[in-house]
Structure 1
Amino acid sequence: MASRLLVRYARLLCRASSQAPVVAAAYMPSPMATEVQRAQGWPGVVERLMCEERRFVKDDVSQTMPTRTELDDQLDKAVEPEDILVAWAEHGGNGNQAASALKQWTFLMLKTNPTFRNELPTLMMDSRLLDMMNTVSQNVSQVWNSSLVSVLQALWLMGLPSTNAVLSSVQTEILWRVRRLTYKQLSYLADWGSGRRGHQDVMIVNAVLKQLELRWTEICDVKTVAVLMSKGERVSPALMDRLEDKALELAESFSSEEIRRVCVSLATQSRRSVPLLRALSYHLLQKPSSEFTTPLIMDMAFAYGKLNFHHTQVFQRMASELLPRVPELSPTDVTRCAKSLGFLKWLHLPLFEAFAEHYTLYSDKYTILQLSNLLLTFARLGFQPSKGEDFYAKVHSSLKDSLSSLEPFLQTDVVWSLCVLQQVQPNYLIPLLQEKHITKLSEGSPTRADNYRLKLLHIAASLHLEHSGSSKTTAVPSALTAWSHQGPVSPLSPLQSSLREALQSVVGDTAGALRTGVVTVYGWTIDGEMVVDCNNRPVDLSILEAPHLPGERSGKPLPEGVRRLAFVAWEFPNFVSKSKDILGRFAMMKRHLQLAGFIVVEVPYYEWLQLKTDFQKSAYVKDKIGKAVAEDMAK
Structure 2
Amino acid sequence: MECKISFSSRTWHIALAAKATYITFIIFGDTDSPSQPVPKASIRRNPVRSTQHIKNRRLDLAFSKKEFHPLDTPADVKGDPRAFHRCRPEYRNISHDLSQRPPAIHFQDALLLLHKVNSAKGDIEPSDVAHCLSQLGCLAPKQAQVIRGDNEFNMLLGYSAECLPNFTNLQLLEVLQAFVRLDLSYSNKILGLYEAEFGQRAGKMDLHQLLLIADLWRCLGRSVPHYLESLYDCICQHFSEMGPPELVQFMYILGEGRKCPAHLIQPLQSHLMRHLHKLEAEEVAAVCLGLFKSKASLSEHVVRSIVDHACTLVKEMSNFGLVNVLKLLRFSHLDHLPWLEAMGSVVPQRAPQMNAPGLMHVVLACSALHYRDDRILLAVAEHLPPLASDCRSKDAAKALWAFGNLAILPKQCPSLYPCITDILRKRKAEFQLFPEHLLTALLGLAFVGQYPNDLLSLALSPEFISLASSRAHLQLGKDFFTLDGTVGIELPGWTGPRLSQAFREEVTKQLWDFAKFDICQKPEVIEAEEVLQGLLGGEAFVRKGMILPHMRSIDLEVHLDANEQPLPESNPWEGPIGVNLTDDLLAQLTSAKKIPVQTPQQFIQPPALRPVEPQREREVLFGVGIDLTDCLLDAMTKRRISSSPAPDQVNSKQSVLRLAVQVTNRNHYCYRTQQLLGLHAMKRRQLELAGYRVVELPYWEWFPLLRCSKAEKRAYLHCKIFNTYDSTQRS
Which range, TM-score by smaller chain? 0.5 to 0.7
Tell whether the 8 Å contact from 1:271 to 1:307 is kept in structure 2 after alignment.
no
The match for 1:17 is none
For structure 2, the residue ranges without an aligned partner over 5 or more in a row are 1-100, 110-127, 575-650
Q: Report the CA distance shift for 1:344/1:178 in structure 2 as closer, same or farther (over 3 A).
A: closer
Residues 316-358 of structure 1: CA deviation (Å, up to 9, x unaligned) = 2234222212123222222233223322222221221122222
> Secondary structure of 2:370's match?
coil
Tell whether the 8 Å contact from 1:435 to 1:477 is kept in structure 2 after alignment.
no
**Structure 1 position 216 matched with structure 2 position 242:** no
The match for 1:621 is 717
**Structure 1 position 422 matched with structure 2 position 449:** yes
Letter matched to residue 329 of structure 2? Y
Q: Report the CA distance shift for 1:317/1:149 in structure 2 as closer, same or farther (over 3 A).
A: farther
Of residues 473, 478, 501 in structure 1, which corresponds to 2:501?
Answer: 478
**Structure 1 position 494 matched with structure 2 position 523:** yes
Of residues 516, 523, 533 in structure 2, which corresponds to 1:504?
Answer: 533
Work out the CA distance in 2 between the residues paired with 1:502 and 1:256. 55
For structure 1, the residue ranges without an aligned partner over 5 or more in a row are 1-77, 86-97, 465-469, 547-556
- The aligned length equals 513
Q: Report the CA distance shift for 1:372/1:558 in structure 2 as closer, same or farther (over 3 A).
A: farther
Residues 194-218 of structure 1: CA deviation (Å, up to 9, x unaligned) = 666999x9998766654433x2352
Tell whether the 8 Å contact from 1:304 to 1:340 is kept in structure 2 after alignment.
yes
Work out the CA distance in 1 between the residues paired with 2:463 and 2:150. 61
Q: Report the CA distance shift for 1:563/1:284 in structure 2 as closer, same or farther (over 3 A).
A: same
The match for 1:549 is none
Letter matched to residue 496 of structure 1? V
**Structure 1 residue 528 displacement after superposition:** 0.9
**Structure 1 residue 533 displacement after superposition:** 4.0
> Secondary structure of 2:541's match?
coil
**Structure 1 position 539 matched with structure 2 position 567:** yes
Work out the CA distance in 2 between the residues paired with 1:176 and 1:541. 70
Identity value in percent? 17
Letter matched to residue 418 of structure 1? L
CA-based RMSD of the aligned residues comes to 5.0
Residue correspondence of structure 1 range 395-474 to structure 2 within 5 A? 406-407=431-432, 409-424=436-451, 429=456, 442-445=469-472, 447-464=475-492, 470=493, 472=495
Work out the CA distance in 2 between the residues paired with 1:79 and 1:425. 56
Work out the CA distance in 1 between the residues paired with 2:497 and 2:225. 61
Residue correspondence of structure 1 range 82-231 to structure 2 within 5 A? 113=140, 117-118=144-145, 151=174, 154-159=177-182, 182-193=206-217, 209-213=232-236, 215-231=237-253
Tell whether the 8 Å contact from 1:518 to 1:526 is kept in structure 2 after alignment.
yes
Work out the CA distance in 2 between the residues paired with 1:534 and 1:516. 23
The match for 1:278 is 304
Residues 117-159 of structure 1: CA deviation (Å, up to 9, x unaligned) = 436679999xxxx9xxx9xx9xx99x9x9x7797466445444
Bigger radius of gyration among the two: 1
Work out the CA distance in 1 between the residues paired with 2:543 and 2:691. 16
Work out the CA distance in 1 between the residues paired with 2:225 and 2:507. 53
Letter matched to residue 241 of structure 2? I
**Structure 1 residue 587 displacement after superposition:** 0.4
Tell whether the 8 Å contact from 2:307 to 2:325 is kept in structure 1 after alignment.
no
Work out the CA distance in 2 between the residues paired with 1:222 and 1:424. 51
Larger relative contact order (Cα-Cα within 8 Å, sequence gap ≥ 6): 2
Higher helix share: 1
> Secondary structure of 1:273's match?
coil
Tell whether the 8 Å contact from 1:359 to 1:391 is kept in structure 2 after alignment.
yes
Work out the CA distance in 2 between the residues paired with 1:354 and 1:222. 36
Residues 444-491 of structure 1: CA deviation (Å, up to 9, x unaligned) = 449532442233112212223xxxxx4859998534664576453322
Report the more deviating stretch, 408-417 or 570-579: 408-417
Residue correspondence of structure 1 range 5-16 to structure 2 within 5 A? none
Tell whether the 8 Å contact from 2:663 to 2:699 is kept in structure 1 after alignment.
yes
Work out the CA distance in 1 between the residues paired with 2:497 and 2:217. 61
Of residues 597, 606, 617 in structure 1, which corresponds to 2:691?
Answer: 597
Q: Report the CA distance shift for 1:313/1:288 in structure 2 as closer, same or farther (over 3 A).
A: closer
Work out the CA distance in 1 between the residues paired with 2:210 and 2:312. 32
Of residues 500, 503, 513 in structure 1, which corresponds to 2:541?
Answer: 513
Tell whether the 8 Å contact from 2:260 to 2:294 is kept in structure 1 after alignment.
no
Letter matched to residue 282 of structure 1? D
Letter matched to residue 300 of structure 1? V
Work out the CA distance in 2 between the residues paired with 1:433 and 1:208. 47
Tell whether the 8 Å contact from 1:381 to 1:584 is kept in structure 2 after alignment.
yes
**Structure 1 residue 607 displacement after superposition:** 1.6
Q: Report the CA distance shift for 1:310/1:105 in structure 2 as closer, same or farther (over 3 A).
A: farther
Residue correspondence of structure 1 range 221-260 to structure 2 within 5 A? 221-232=243-254, 233=257, 236-260=261-285
Tell whether the 8 Å contact from 1:260 to 1:296 is kept in structure 2 after alignment.
yes
Residue correspondence of structure 1 range 36-75 to structure 2 within 5 A? none
Tell whether the 8 Å contact from 2:508 to 2:550 is kept in structure 1 after alignment.
no
The match for 1:67 is none
Tell whether the 8 Å contact from 2:393 to 2:437 is kept in structure 1 after alignment.
no
**Structure 1 residue 574 displacement after superposition:** 1.5
Tell whether the 8 Å contact from 1:565 to 1:601 is kept in structure 2 after alignment.
yes
Q: Report the CA distance shift for 1:221/1:536 in structure 2 as closer, same or farther (over 3 A).
A: same
Work out the CA distance in 2 between the residues paired with 1:334 and 1:248. 30
The match for 1:587 is 681
> Secondary structure of 1:271's match?
coil
**Structure 1 residue 570 displacement after superposition:** 1.0
**Structure 1 position 268 matched with structure 2 position 293:** yes
